[in-house]
Structure formats: structure tokens, C-alpha cells
Amino acid sequence: MRSDLAGLPHLLAAFGTAGALALGAVGVKAAGAPEWLAPVADAAPWQPGQAIPVLRTLTPRQGARVVEDERTGLVVQADPEPEPSAPAPTPAAAPGSPALPGEAPAALLEPLSAAALRLPSRAPAVATPLDDPADTGMAPFYQALHRGTGLARAAWWGDSTIAADGITGTVRARLQARFGYGGPGFVVAGLDPQWSARPDLKTTRSGTWETKSILLGGARGTYGFGGVVSTAPPEGSLTLRAPKGPGGSARPLHHAELWYQANAGSGGWWLRAGEGKDAAGSAAAEGRSDQRASLDVPEGYDRLTFGASGAPVAFYGVVMETAGPGVVLDALGVVGVGTRSFNYFGENHLAAQVAQRQPDLVVLMLGGNELGLPVLQKGTASGYDPLYTATLRKLRAGAPAAGCLVVTPLDQGTREGGTPTTKPALKRLVAAQARVARAEGCAFWSGFVAMGGEGSIVAWTRRKPPLAWTDLLHLSAAGQDLIGQALADAIELGFDDWVKSGGPARSPAPPVAPALGAEPGPAAVEPGVAPGPAAIEPAAAPTPPAPTEPAP
């Protein structure tokens, strides 16, 4: 070997070794790796059938572009880069396809149906109608909307997908624009970007509050209507100001409620909607009980302040409403929760809280933190059905006459194995929730389908501006708005169809929700439905949920 090439054998040996190992990985992958060799097979840099390395970089490429179906907004071809197993969703079967045993109705897993053609195009979101074949899921809510007096209330529980009030905020704004402004609704006292947020409200907090939620428990079964209980220190207070109306005009409230917990050692509570402390009382009691104080808001005021005095008081939240007619949508998202987080609620506590709130519609959007559950990893995931059913029934127990809507998680991706793809368990989870919705007489709306199905989260991260975060789990504010608009489209279309088909005559009109409260005076305190400590403190400690996939 010439002296100027002394390094060449070493170069050949090094790259030869690396190349041999890489080829070995390719061989293992091609031959079907045993489980213990899976990491090696996953690291194979190339597979038979793929374009030839190096040469593939010289083949002509399309420019970066997004091709969408004009009618449906469906992303047909999103990107010139390799799009991992993201086939364009195929046209769906006719709506109302019969459910097969152990499987979801085909129409619920795919984006198109006859009704979808009548929804506006919001590319890259896919027009997705509500599925409510028995006409039982949405009817009570539609009836309340159609009534024209009082408030139509929807209560929406969920995880981080709605904890920032993005999707729910858009749906609320859309429905209030059409049916009337009903106010911000129920707002948890423990508002915090780490748990749940309401960016439409201006908040000012004093003192250090201690918050517990159904994510980690620790409040002995009592978490209130929103799953978050927050204890104010002595002299701690929280001010909430309702959002302005169109053109910056103030939108006064008419009715306020303070939901709190009476207990031994608690201090006094106060609630102010006007200039002074309009209502006040003591939260001290021998046993634990849920309480509610209500107040007529003085004319023209759009803010509430409440707090503790003398000693700490545990607050669940406040209600901020108008006299109607209008719509209220309570956003009750808690970051990180799953179906089993609802096991933290003590027996009867949640039902009693829901009964007090009297929603016309119960909405549940969970599952995004549960994709690691073993029952979702294979087969039809039928083991998930009882979990979801139990949570749904727990919520509906307090409002059996209310409507019910199941909204599935959005598309979620993973980077395991190299290329970003949709989490394998997601489609099984969506199918399971579709089955439960049918079985429980709930309406169903697939957020997964509305995003465009498999691989859509990856495409959404690449949009300008980005519609999803690069954690492949969450949507950006623009993405949340898009999904909220798509769902509002579906609800409004469902309402219009229900009216046209004679729905108001079919369904009995529900009683008007007590927008101004049933209380006689300007301020009244009434005990919760569950009067005694036994109903509040469960005999046994609530079953803690099994570890779920960590949510950011």
C-alpha cells in the first residue's frame, strides 16, 4: 500500500463493518425478526421494495404541495416526503350500516356519508356528520335549543384535548352566535394552565390555592362538577370576567352560583358580583357536604369575585350565566385523564353534582391518554367497552333525561420505529367508542375521522401555519378551531335536520332550565343533593386508576 493511502484499509474496514451490520439488520427485517431482535430489525435503514438509496435522491420529486378534494376537504396527497402508511381515506359505506358483532359500524370509521356532502368544506378537516341513528342522543339538547326560552346547557368532560377550551370554545362561540349568549357557564375554581384553562375569561387570583383533580386524586372522592377542587387560603380570592361581545361590547351576566364544600375547619365564603360582598356565609360544618350559593347579578355586571375568609375553603367552581335564551357549554377538561380517572369520584358525588347542574347534553371526549392500555393492543379491543360504558353511565346518572354525545380522540402519532405514524391502538379505540355510543343511545362524532384519519396528525404538523404540535398529540390553536368549527357544523346540520323531520313534535319538551335560579331571594344557599357526609365520603376509598399512558 502506498504511504499516501495508509488510511484506506482502515476506511474500508470501518465502513465495511458498518455496512455489514446494516445489511444484517435489513436481512433480519426481511426474514421476519424474532421478538428479541425487533430493535435491530426496526433499525434496518432500508427494506426490499423501497426505492434504492442514493439513486432515490436523484429521482424527480414533486414540489411541496397539498392536494385536497374540493368537496370534502380531504387531503388526498399531502406531501412529497414519504408519508407513513397514510392512505387517503376511502369513501364510506352508506350511513347507518349495521354494526357487526365486535366491530364498529363501518360508517363511523370513515369520513364520508350522504350527510357529509351537505357540510361546509374546511380543509384539511374532513366534513363529518353526527351519527345518531336512533335519534336519541341529541334530541333533548335540540329540544332545548328549539324552545327559544331559557338556556340549553351542554357539559363536556374530556382530557387535554379540551382542557385549553380550544375546541369547546369554538363550538360555544358558534352555538351562542346562532342560539343566543348564555354566558361562560360552569368554570372550575382551579383554573390553571397545568390543569384546565379558559382563555376567554380574564382571571385574577390572590393567594396560593391548593388544587386537586381526578388526575392524581387526593381529595377523598370529592372533586366537584369539573373534576377539580381548589382550596382557597384565608383571604384568597379569584375574579373572573366574562368575555366581551362582538365589537368589544360588555355582555352582562344575570345569574351566578358558587359551588363549594362545607367541612369542619372551613372558613367563610363570599361572592361578589357587584360592588360589595353580595353574598357570604360559612363553610364550616360538622361533616363534609356539597353546597351551592346563588346570586342574581346586579344589572350590567360581567364579572364575579369569590373567596375565603378566616380559614381555607374548598371551591369546586362558579356558574356564570345569562337569563337566556341562549346556549351554555361547560368545558370540563382536565389534562392527562382517562376513563378510569373518573373512579376517583366518590359514589353519588358526581351524579349529585350533575343533577344540580341539569345539563341538556352530556358530552364525553376521552381516550387520548389510554392508547397504551393492554386491552387496546389487539383484536377488537372489546375489553375497553366496559371501561368507557361505566364512565358514560356515571356521568349520565345525574341527568338521565339529558342527551348524550360521544366525541372520539383526535389522531395521535408516534415516532417509534422511525417514521411518524398513527398510534396503532387509536383505530381500535375509536371503534370501541362507536360501539358504546350505539349501545348507550348516544350520538357519536369521530374527531379522528374529522382530522382525516390515519396519518393526519403528521400532515397537520406540516401545514403552514401548523395545525398540530410536533408532539403528535395536540392540535395548535388553529387546529383546535378547525375541529371546533367542523363539530359545530355537524351539530347545526343535525339540529336543522331534526327540525325539518318533525323532531320538536316527536320529543317532549324538557323543562326550562332555571336560568335565574330557583332561589327566592337575591342570594340563597342550598345544600347539595347529597345531604350527609355519608353520601360525600365514600365508604371505601375510591379505586385509583391504573397507570395510564403519561400525558404531557
Partner 1 sequence: MLFSTFDYFIFLPLVAVGHWLLGGKQARTALLLVASAIFYLAWNPVDSFILLWVGAVGFAASHLLGRLAPAAKVPTLWGVAALMLGPLFFYKYAHFAGENLAALVPGFTPWVPPKGHLPIGISFYSFQALAYVLDVHRGQAPEKSPVRYATFLCFFPHLVAGPILRSHTLLDQLGADRVLTRADVGHALWRLGVGLTKKLLVADVLSQGVVESVFIDPSAFTGLEVLTALYAYTLQMYADFSGYTDFAVGSSRLLGFQIPENFDRPYQATSVADYWRRWHQTLSNWVRDYVYYPLGGSRGSGLAPYRNTLVTLVILGVWHGANWTFVVYGILHGLAVSLNRWWKKRPNWRAPEGVFGIGWRWMLTLQFVVIARILFRADDLDHAGQIATALLSRWESITLPRWSMHAWAVLLLGYAAHLTPRSWALAVRDRFVALPAPVWGASLAALGLLCVRYGVGDSLTFIYYAF
Give residues in contact with partner 1 (CB under 8 A): 3-22, 25, 39-40, 42-43, 45-46, 53-54, 56-58, 81-82, 164, 192-194, 199, 205, 208, 335, 415, 417-420, 461, 465-466, 469-471, 474, 476-477, 550, 552
Within a 10 A sphere around the Cβ of 404, how many other Cβ atoms? 25
- Is residue 501 a contact partner of residue 310, using CB atoms and an 8 Å limit? no
- Min separation Cβ 468 and partner 1, Å: 8
Report the candidate in 155, 125, 126, 129 with the shortest Cα–Cα distance to residue 140. 155
- What single-letter DSSP state applies at residue 181? B
Closer to partner 1 by Cβ: residue 22 or 285? 22
- Min separation Cβ 238 and partner 1, Å: 11
Quick one: cell of 529? 343533593
Q: How far apart are CA 530 and CA 221, in angstroms?
A: 13
Within a 10 A sphere around the Cβ of 373, how many other Cβ atoms? 23
| Residue 415 amino acid letter | R
- Min separation Cβ 335 and partner 1, Å: 8
Report the candidate in 473, 491, 430, 483 with the shortest Cα–Cα distance to residue 165. 483
The gap from C-alpha 523 to its chain's centroid, in whole angstroms, comes to 34
Q: How far apart are CA 209 and CA 277, in angstroms?
A: 21
Q: How far apart are CA 339 and CA 548, in angstroms?
A: 10
CA count, 13 A, side-chain hemisphere, 496: 12
Our CA angle for 328, 330, 332, nearest 5°, is 175
Closer to partner 1 by Cβ: residue 55 or 505? 55
Q: Which residues pair with 263 in a beta bridge?
A: 284
| Residue 368 amino acid letter | G
Q: Which residues pair with 151 in a beta bridge?
A: 326
Our CA angle for 347, 365, 95, nearest 5°, is 125
- Min separation Cβ 88 and partner 1, Å: 20
Closer to partner 1 by Cβ: residue 400 or 417? 417
| Residue 511 amino acid letter | P
Closer to partner 1 by Cβ: residue 77 or 419? 419
Quick one: cell of 25? 439488520
- Min separation Cβ 472 and partner 1, Å: 8
Query: Helices 384-396 and 426-440 meet at what angle, rounded to 10?
Result: 50
| Residue 253 amino acid letter | L
Residue matched to cell numbers 374527531: 447
Name, in order, each residue with C-beta under 8 angstroms of 40's C-beta and a sequence gap of 6 or more: 24, 25, 28, 33
- Min separation Cβ 476 and partner 1, Å: 5
Closer to partner 1 by Cβ: residue 13 or 534? 13
- Alpha carbon of 7 to those of 4, 10, 13, 17: distances in Å? 8, 5, 10, 15
Report the candidate in 23, 21, 42 with the shortest Cα–Cα distance to residue 33. 42
Question: How are the residues of the chain apportioned to helix, strand and coil, as percentages rounded to the nearest 5?
Answer: 30, 20, 50
Closer to partner 1 by Cβ: residue 420 or 447? 420
- Min separation Cβ 180 and partner 1, Å: 28
